[in-house]
C-alpha cells in the first residue's frame, strides 16, 4: 500500500520491552572494546616504522629533503677560519693538502689558515706558511677562480691600465692571471678575471723578512736583506713608484744603467717608498732585487730592503703602487 506524507502524522512508535535497552547497551560495550584494542594494534606499525627510520643512514635521510638556497651560505661558512684544538692540526693539514691536490684551492687555503691560527709552534707555522703561500700564488697568478676575483667584461675604451686603476691592482697581474700575451690587445667583449683584494706588507728588521697580507690574512713570507748597522728606517710607508729593470743613481749623481751587474746594485726591480703618518720623511729608500742573493737574510745593504731577483719580480707582478708598508725593528 502506498504511504503518503500525511500518513506520518498518524505514525506511532510501538511499545518496546525493557530488555531491548539492555541489548543495545551490551552491543555498544562490545563495539567500544573492539575499537579500543584494534586501535592499539593499528598504532603498533608506527612504532616499528620509527625504529626502521632510526636505523637508516643519516646521510640517506638528509638527501631526501628538498634542496635549500642556504647551501651556498653553508659553503661560505665552511671557508671561514675557526680556531681548532692543537691535536687536530695534523688532520686539518691532511685535509688541506688533499683539497689542494683536488684543485679545490679556496677550501685548501681556508684549512691552512685554520691551522696557522691554531698553533704557536714555530716549526709547524713555517711548514703551513710555505704550503699556504704556494696555494695563494697558484690561485692569484693563474686564471683559476678565487673569492677575491671578479669577472669583468671589457667595454669600449677599456685598457688594462684603466681596469687595473679601477680595481686597485696591477696591469701585470691582470695580464698574467688571464694569460694575455699582449697587454695592449684586448677586445670589446673579452672576459677577464680581475683581482680585487688588498695587500699590506710588514718587514721585520730583526727577522730579515717581509710578510705579505691579503685582506688581513697571511699571504706569503719573503726573506730580505736589511741595512747595515740598523740603517733601514722604521715606520709606515707606501709604495710610491715601481720600476722594471731600473738604472741606479750613484750618490754623486751619475747613472749606472740596468744590466751592469758589477755596479748597478738594484737588481731587476725597484719599489720606492714614501713615508706616511708621523714617520720621518726619507728619500732614496725602497725595496729592490740584488745580484748577490747570498746577502738576502742578512744586514748587508745601505738601508734598502733587498730581495732575490726572482722573488722581487714575483712581488712586482701583484703589488700595486699605494700598497702600505710597515717596517719594525
Domain ranges in the chain?
78-140, 149-195, 200-328
List of residues 6+ apart from 73 with CB closer than 8 A: none
Is pTM beyond 0.85? Reply is no
Res 127 pLDDT > 90: yes
Question: Can you give the pLDDT at residue 82?
Answer: 57
Range with the poorest average pLDDT among 74-83, 92-101, 256-265, 293-302:
74-83
DSSP 119-180: ---HHHHHHHHHHHHHHHHHHHTSS---TTEEEEE--TT--HHHHHHHHT--HHHHHHHTT-
Q: Give me the mean pLDDT over the 8-31 stretch.
A: 52
**Which residues, listed in sequence order, are joined to residue 237 by a DSSP beta bridge?**
275, 325
Question: Can you give the pLDDT at residue 72?
Answer: 39
Angle, alpha carbons 248-254-259 (nearest 5°): 35
In terms of Cβ atoms closer than 10 Å to its own Cβ (0-12, 13-18, 19+), residue 147 is middle
Q: Give me the mean pLDDT over the 226-235 stretch.
A: 96
Q: Give me the mean pLDDT over the 96-118 stretch.
A: 97
Provide the CATH topology of domain 149-195. Membrane-bound Lytic Murein Transglycosylase D; Chain A (3.10.350)
pLDDT tens string 250-289: 888 899 999 888 889 999 999 999 999 999 998 899 999 9
Cell 742578512 identifies what position?
298
Provide the CATH topology of domain 78-140. Methane Monooxygenase Hydroxylase; Chain G, domain 1 (1.20.58)
Question: Can you give the pLDDT at residue 146?
Answer: 97
CATH of domain 200-328: 2.40.440.10
List of residues 6+ apart from 125 with CB closer than 8 A: 116, 119
Mean pLDDT score of the chain, rounded to an integer? Answer: 82
Range with the poorest average pLDDT among 114-123, 130-139, 311-320:
114-123
- pLDDT band of 74, cuts 50, 70, 90: very low
Question: Can you give the pLDDT at residue 253?
Answer: 85
Res 55 pLDDT > 50: no
Res 10 pLDDT > 60: no
Question: Can you give the pLDDT at residue 227?
Answer: 96
Amino acid at each position: 500500500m502506498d504511504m503518503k506524507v500525511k500518513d506520518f502524522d498518524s505514525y506511532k512508535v510501538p511499545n518496546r520491552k525493557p530488555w531491548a535497552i539492555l541489548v543495545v547497551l551490551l552491543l555498544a560495550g562490545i563495539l567500544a572494546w573492539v575499537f579500543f584494542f584494534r586501535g592499539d594494534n593499528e598504532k603498533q606499525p608506527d612504532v616499528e616504522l620509527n625504529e626502521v627510520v632510526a636505523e637508516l643512514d643519516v646521510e640517506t635521510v638528509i638527501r631526501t629533503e628538498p634542496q635549500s638556497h642556504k647551501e651556498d651560505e653553508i659553503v661560505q661558512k665552511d671557508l671561514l677560519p675557526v680556531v681548532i684544538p692543537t691535536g687536530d692540526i695534523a688532520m686539518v693539514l691532511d685535509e688541506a693538502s688533499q683539497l689542494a691536490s683536488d684543485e679545490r684551492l679556496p677550501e685548501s687555503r681556508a684549512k691552512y689558515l685554520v691551522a696557522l691560527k691554531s698553533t704557536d709552534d714555530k716549526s709547524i707555522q713555517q711548514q703551513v706558511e710555505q704550503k699556504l703561500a704556494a696555494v695563494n700564488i697558484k690561485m692569484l697568478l693563474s686564471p683559476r677562480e678565487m673569492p677575491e676575483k671578479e669577472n669583468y667584461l671589457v667595454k669600449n675604451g677599456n685598457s688594462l691600465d684603466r681596469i687595473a686603476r679601477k680595481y686597485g691592482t696591477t696591469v701585470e697581474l691582470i695580464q698574467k692571471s688571464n694569460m694575455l700575451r699582449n697587454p695592449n690587445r684586448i677586445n670589446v667583449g673579452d672576459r677577464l678575471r680581475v683581482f680585487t683584494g688588498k695587500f699590506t706588507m710588514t718587514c721585520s728588521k730583526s727577522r730579515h723578512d717581509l710578510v705579505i697580507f691579503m685582506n688581513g690574512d697571511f699571504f706569503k713570507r719573503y726573506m730580505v736583506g736589511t741595512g747595515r748597522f740598523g740603517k733601514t728606517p722604521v715606520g709606515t710607508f707606501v709604495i710610491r713608484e715601481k720600476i722594471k729593470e731600473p738604472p741606479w743613481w750613484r750618490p754623486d749623481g751619475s747613472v749606472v744603467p740596468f744590466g751592469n751587474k758589477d755596479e748597478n746594485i738594484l737588481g731587476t726591480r725597484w719599489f720606492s717608498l714614501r713615508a706616511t703618518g708621523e714617520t720621518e720623511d726619507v728619500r732614496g729608500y725602497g725595496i729592490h732585487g740584488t745580484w748577490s742573493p747570498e746577502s738576502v737574510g742578512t744586514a748587508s745593504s745601505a738601508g734598502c730592503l733587498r730581495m732575490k731577483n726572482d722573488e722581487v719580480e714575483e712581488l712586482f707582478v701583484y703589488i700595486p703602487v699605494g700598497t702600505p708598508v710597515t717596517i719594525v725593528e
